[in-house]
Every structure is written in C-alpha cells, then in structure tokens.
Structure 1
Amino acid sequence: MIEEINKKKLRLDELRPLSRETVKSIRESILLEWTYNSNAIEGNTLTLLETKVVLEGITIGGKSIREHLEVVNHKEAILYLEEVIRKEEPFNEWQIKNIHHLVLKGINDKYAGNYRDQQVMISGAEHIPPAPFLLKEKMNEFINWYNTEAQSLHPIERAAMVHIIFVGIHPFVDGNGRTSRLLLNLELMKNGYPPIVIKNLNRLEYYSALDIAHTTGDNSKFISLVLKESDDMLNRYLSLLNNNR
C-alpha cells in the first residue's frame, strides 16, 4: 500500500500548484468532515449538517454550549496547524500545548494547554496512561523520539506513531483524542499529504487498533488504518483534480 500511496502522492505533486478555487473547495469540505467526525468520536451529538451551520456562525437550538465550542475550537485548531506549517515551526511541547489550549478553550480553561495533575483512565481501553508525575519525562522522550528515530520512518507511518505515542501518554485531562488526531494530520500535512478523516462510523476499529498498540506493542493495525485513510483521501483528491481537468 505504501508503494501505491507513494505513486499517488507523486501524481498529486505533479498537479501542483492547485488552483485557488480547487484548494478552497477541498479545504472547506475536509475541514467540515474532519471537525464533525473528530468531535462525534468523542460524543458530540451535532450532525454533519449542524456542524456546518455552527461553522458558519449560527447556533443550534437544544444543543449545549460545549458542543458548539467543540466545533468552533476545532476549526481554530486546524487554522493554527496551517500557520505552523506555513512558518515551518519545529515540533515541540509548546506547539502541542497550544493545540490543546485551542481544543479546550472556553470548555475547561483550567486544564486547557496544561498537563493533567491526576490519574486518568481511557474509557473502554485496557491501557492505563502513566501517572501525572511521569508526564514531563514521557513527553520529553516523545519529542526526542520524534527528532531522532522517527525521522527514518515513512511520513504516514511517522504520523500514525505520533498519534499512538501521544494518546498512550494521555497528557491532558480531556481533549487527548482530538489533539492526537490534529497531531497526526499536522505530520501528514507537513509532508505534503492531505489530512485524513478518521470516521465516527469506524470508531470501534479505531479504538481497538489503538488499544492493541498500547497493550501489545503491535502498531500494525493502527498504521494500516491510517494508510487506508490516506490512500482514500489521495484517491479523492486525484479524482477531483482529474474531473476539473
């Protein structure tokens, strides 16, 4: 699959630069789907259509302030990723905390951008994240791994591993899932790949693959899931661009 993805990525690169209209159309569509699905995985009850309306600045009757904020915050976090990529900023803890702060802003300001000070459990998972006093050490190890060993991995595999390691550490009280998927896509986008959308419909497969990675050290199922989603998104991009031509 990596060989096929590499070929499709090369074809996409050959079609660049994309027209402004095409970029705008694709960006708006993916931003909506990414925001809807990432929030839905965490229990947000807004539909895709309702999410679209909230992104346009309209409130939905009967829905909580938190659910509205989760949509608006996620959009702001994506805009921040785009800024990080434009400025070619290096991956670091400050960047991770900024992303998380945007995710939880106005929802839980005490913990937005701050590491947890209590033990947490991952709902439905066997894996138990490290104790709070170990977080600084674990995050340092994570960043060091990224700057050394991770650089020899294929960009998609590296993106998948960023997600696996980060969510295994679970450094925040809340918002780890959304932040991990933002970090995954940040890595893909840095390397010229389209962001992927992990669909709410596939959340059981997604959670299962993550728990297997954390409890057995077998990362293959999760990496395969990310490869499949990357392949699907490349197909989508290429199909749209070929139609436009």
Structure 2
Amino acid sequence: MTFLDGFDPDIRKALMVQLRNLWTHSTTALEGNSLTLGETAFVIGEGLTIKGKPVKDHQEVIGHAKAIDLLYDLLRNHAVIGDQDIFLLHKAVQTNVVVDIFKPVGAWKKEPNGTNAIIDDRQVFINFASPEDVPYLMKDWIGLLNLRMTEHLSEMAALSAYVDLHVSFVRIHPFFDGNGRMARLLANLPVLNSGYPPIIIPNENRIEYIRFLSEYDFQVGPAKRGAPLLPEPGKLMAFKSFCANAWGATKLLVERGRREQEKRGEPK
C-alpha cells in the first residue's frame, strides 16, 4: 500500500502534479532559483517561459521534474540501484552542462570541492571527500541505499533512512555540482518505496537547513575511505526533527486529496 492508493485517477494525477511542482520549486529555490511555485508549475506544465527570468532557472526546473520521473522509474523497474542509475539522474538535474573534463556530468567529480560556512559566528571552510575516495565511499553509500530498499520501513525508520542517506551523500559530495538536489532526490527512494510521500525541504528554512548540514560536516570532518559514512550519529537528532517537520507539507497535500476523495465516496 502507498500514499497513492484509494484515489480516483484524476485526483491521484492532480496529487502527483502538486508534489512534483512543490518538490521541484523547493529544491531548486534552495539553490538560488528565482521562479516562484506558480511559475515553476507553469513552466513544467505548459513548457513556456516566464518573461524576465533566466533561461538557467527554466532549465533547472524542467530538469528536476524529469529527474522525479526517473526516480519513480527506478522504483518501478530496478530491484537494485547502481551508480549508472545515479549518473542518469545527475544528467537530468545538471542541465547547465559545462564542457570540461574536470567537471563531468553523469560521473564522479575529478577535482576536490568544499564550501564556506559560518560556525559559531566564525567563517570556516569545509572540505568534502577527495575525488580518489569517492568511488569507494559511493559504493558504501549505494550499499546503504539498497539495504534500506529491501524492506517496508515504518514511518520513523523511513525518516531515519532519509536523514542518514541525505547527510552522508552531502558529506561525500560526489559530483562537481548538483549534490544538494541529488541528495534530496535519492534520499527519498526508501521513503517512497515504503509507501510514504516524499520529504521536501522548504526553501523558507534554507538558513536552518544549511546550518544543520554545515555544523555536522565541520564537527565530524570530511568523509574518508574505510571510515564510517556517518560518525557520531547522535549529532543528527536536531536535523531529524527538522526533516520530520518538513515532511508535514507533503502529508498535508495527501490529506487534502483524501478529503476530496471522501466527498466523492469510494474510488471508481
């Protein structure tokens, strides 16, 4: 049983469109996309552009909507997720293609990457995993993903799987770009596989979201081959609560769909 059961086809389709639009808008807005939720829905649904908005922003939302479709295809058609499946998703997400052998699309990064952060009111630099370690770390990460896909998880177990996969993927940062969007997509696979709506991080909480991830990454240091993907998991409790609260948005959309269905009676 999934959150899509018990709906008439038109209500189910409308719910899927609402989830796709919200997911795409929220995750691209976290990365700086300027399109509103309404504009995002228009661009994806109508295939038209918004006057005065960058071409890049249009490409990002169309690419992410395609990536969501690919994610559902993975759930339907793949018993085991592999690195080629992840590369295909990255090609959909990373629409602003740079012709540079050191910045590959649909392949692991070739150069080191890191980011600036503010920790305890100090400016710091956070290093992610080295390119040499990425294939080994992602083999472990993909193993963790597939393990979480082998059973129907309770709601709390699905939340924990999302947090663990999300944080460990960001900590590795296996691509030169698009890592946040990829983490928020892929970490939802066990959630969706267990019959729940996706967990969507709201753009309104961007500062808090970045702070949780930055503080953890800074405290535990970069991921390294042979070391645990998630050292000191107790430090993730606050982020888990944050994600649980964020989950409420998609649960509310499903509940609204249920109320519409109840007005009609039993699904046809």
Q: Indicate if the aligned counterparts of 1:151 and 1:158 stay in contact, CA closer than 8 A.
A: no
Is the counterpart of residue 96 in structure 1 residue 86 in structure 2? yes
Residue 118 of structure 1 corresponds to which residue in structure 2?
A: 111
Cα deviation, residue 25, structure 1 = 1.1
Q: Indicate if the aligned counterparts of 2:34 and 2:57 stay in contact, CA closer than 8 A.
A: yes
Q: Indicate if the aligned counterparts of 2:19 and 2:250 stay in contact, CA closer than 8 A.
A: no
**Higher mean C-alpha displacement, 105-114 vs 56-65:** 105-114
For normalisation by structure 1, the TM-score amounts to: 0.85
Structure 1: distance between partners of 2:198 and 2:62: 18
Structure 1: distance between partners of 2:135 and 2:194: 28
Is the counterpart of residue 202 in structure 1 residue 202 in structure 2? no
Q: Indicate if the aligned counterparts of 2:60 and 2:93 stay in contact, CA closer than 8 A.
A: yes
Cα deviation, residue 97, structure 1 = 1.4
Mark the runs of 5 or more structure 1 residues left unpaired by the alignment.
1-9
Identify the match of residue 23 of structure 1 among 12, 28, 34.
Answer: 12
Larger strand proportion of the pair: 2
Structure-2 change in CA distance of 1:146 and 1:48 (3 Å):
closer
Return the index of the structure with the highest Cα Rg. 2
Instruction: Map 1:17-96 to 2 at 5 A.
Output: 17-55=6-44, 56-96=46-86
Mark the runs of 5 or more structure 2 residues left unpaired by the alignment.
119-124, 220-231, 263-268
Identify the match of residue 237 of structure 1 among 254, 257, 267.
Answer: 254
Instruction: Map 1:87-166 to 2 at 5 A.
Output: 87-108=77-98, 110=100, 111-124=104-117, 126-147=125-146, 154-166=157-169
Identify the match of residue 220 of structure 1 among 237, 253, 262.
Answer: 237
**Higher mean C-alpha displacement, 176-185 vs 105-114:** 105-114
**Higher mean C-alpha displacement, 203-212 vs 105-114:** 105-114
Cα deviation, residue 100, structure 1 = 0.8
Structure 2: distance between partners of 1:23 and 1:188: 18
Percent of counterpart pairs with the same letter?
Answer: 29
For normalisation by structure 2, the TM-score amounts to: 0.79
Amino acid at match of 2:57: E
Cα deviation, residue 243, structure 1 = 4.1
Cα deviation, residue 112, structure 1 = 1.4
Structure 1: distance between partners of 2:59 and 2:99: 12
RMSD across aligned C-alpha pairs, in angstroms? 2.4
Larger helix proportion of the pair: 1
What is the aligned length?
234
Amino acid at match of 2:7: L
Residue 225 of structure 2 corresponds to which residue in structure 1?
A: none
Q: Indicate if the aligned counterparts of 2:170 and 2:180 stay in contact, CA closer than 8 A.
A: yes
